[in-house]
A = this chain, B = another copy of it.
């Protein structure tokens, strides 16, 4: 068994590189150990990390890096070549293309992506908003939400709300319950913010059964197919009575996919970065 080692080096958190690597690695299904070096700002740091890596094993090591400045980029490339270590510049080609596109050089200042500015505080507020407005809580002030997700228990409302909150959206969510009307506040807000989530009944039954198993709970009605179908029909009727709400089918979709569907439907495909 070869033991591969990938070094991630960045002048920021290394998060961009890490996510990109994760996307690419999903296509290879190899076991690798990733070592992340964040906040690299000096040539000496690069020199030392590469020297140690080369001493350990240059053949089974790959370096992927994101530096906003071209100087550290080319320094790293040169050193890696000398040490016989393969390296991949993830950000450089895109930075060069953007410089051509905008006809101006980049600021090339590390740390701008994760700077603690107003947008940053908005994101934190949005996360706390999602927590306060999870599962019908704080229903009195859902008028302040950007988006309100409606659907049965375990249709992914909470994780999707949290995901969208990380992107800065204030999201509330409301659970539909069999035999009960949704709270009246839901119909008093701008109806274009409300999104219904639906799911295939067998899939929901599977998700709930798994949930009960994990919790060690034995509640037959929660994961019973007939009961699940009734709940979904009840919910679908609510959606039909409110045709302004877009309805999204979450069956088989990941949180990221559901979140994109919601934004595409409610905000539109073209958005500011």
Q: Which residues of A contact B (CB under 8 A)?
A: 4, 6, 12-16, 19-38, 62, 64, 66, 68, 86, 88-91, 93-95, 97-102, 104, 106-109, 112-116, 120-121, 123-125, 127-128, 131, 134, 156, 158-159, 162-163, 165-166, 210, 214, 252-257, 260, 264, 269-273
Which are the 3 A-B pairs with shortest beta-carbon distances? A27-B106, A114-B254, A26-B112
Q: Interface centre among A6, A91, A256, by most B CB within 10 Å?
A: A256
Task: Tell me which residues across on chain B come within 8 A of A38, comparing CB atoms.
Answer: 257, 260
The answer for the CA separation of A186 and B179 in the assembled complex, in Å, is 42
The answer for the CA separation of A91 and B156 in the assembled complex, in Å, is 29
The answer for the CA separation of A12 and B19 in the assembled complex, in Å, is 14
Q: Which of B26, B98, B121 contacts A113 (CB 8 A)?
A: B26
Q: Which of B23, B123, B134, B257 contacts A131 (CB 8 A)?
A: B134
Q: B26 to A102, Cβ gap below 8 A?
A: no
Each complex incorporates copies of this chain amounting to 2
The answer for the CA separation of A264 and B15 in the assembled complex, in Å, is 13
> How far apart are A82's CB and chain B's nearest CB, in angstroms?
18
Q: B28 to A102, Cβ gap below 8 A?
A: yes
New A-B contacts (9) at CB < 8 Å, excluding given A20-B20, A20-B90, A33-B271? A4-B101, A13-B254, A13-B256, A15-B260, A16-B20, A27-B109, A28-B107, A89-B93, A127-B162
The answer for the CA separation of A13 and B258 in the assembled complex, in Å, is 10
The answer for the CA separation of A80 and B6 in the assembled complex, in Å, is 33
Tell whether A15 pairs with B114 under 8 Å between CB atoms, given A159-B128, A270-B34, A272-B33: no
